[in-house]
Structure 1
């Protein structure tokens, strides 16, 4: 397919996913060293409810996002979902590839019976917010809060 295929990430995708994550957070600390890095990736792929989706065009992975489906006792026992680490390779942006991978993740969440999906972004850029809105997210429904280690409580 000319626009690529969205699929679940596999063990052999680690290096390509790491390249995408360098685009996502170029200032981020380095990845854990081997063999821990490969073990972490394997644990992620085996984690029930956690799926990393990638969009593959030819031999390259050009977009990705992570979906976490969380079991829940409220809302009639329906789970909820978290979408994280949404990234499209800088050379492939503004082509609808990122929205395809996010929409795929949302379709998986709805298929799993989730009553909602949440996403946080640290970006203040209006075009990033519009991107998420075109994928189906709405700002203003809830208020997001983030705690980090060492923050006074």
Structure 2
């Protein structure tokens, strides 16, 4: 089942995120929970999850960004694409990305952007099969 995150999904999402760049499981303190509440309350911040047998096994984030160009149509940004290593190769991340695309279409976005730090050919081919291309733009990052 693919859906948007709910308040009760904090633990499940954080367990999945441990596999994303070896993130440590965050301490469930006031600061972290304030971020969680902010994400849940933001109508432009969509955390999409795929759940199987009551466990969150895949996810991506889709943020809708208001915009003053392109006829004042917003754009979408995809981040934190992850599937539990035991569930990979089953189309779950693609289902999350398709759900994000549906949100972007409903929000009248003119484009969706996605960045990956992966250099693995299999990952790059996965994103291309999901409808993204690496030819139209050049990405630059300045880490803070």
Structure 2 counterpart of 1:127: 122
Structure 2 counterpart of 1:66: 61
The gaps in structure 1 that reach 5 residues or longer are: none
Please say if 1:96 is aligned against 2:91: yes
Structure 1 counterpart of 2:16: 20
Cα distance between partner residues in 1 of 2:139 and 2:64? 18
Report SS of the residue matched to 1:122: coil
Residue pair 2:49, 2:59 contacting (<8 A) in 1 also: yes
Structure 1 residue 48 displacement after superposition: 2.6
Candidates 33, 43, 66, aligned match of 1:38: 33
CA RMSD of aligned residues (A): 1.2
Please say if 1:107 is aligned against 2:99: no
Structure 1 counterpart of 2:134: 139
The gaps in structure 2 that reach 5 residues or longer are: none
Give the TM-score, by structure 1 length. Answer: 0.90
- Equivalent residues in 2 for 1:51-90, closer than 5 Å: 51-90=46-85
Give the ranges of 4+ consecutive aligned residues of structure 1 lying more than 4 Å apart after TM superposition: none
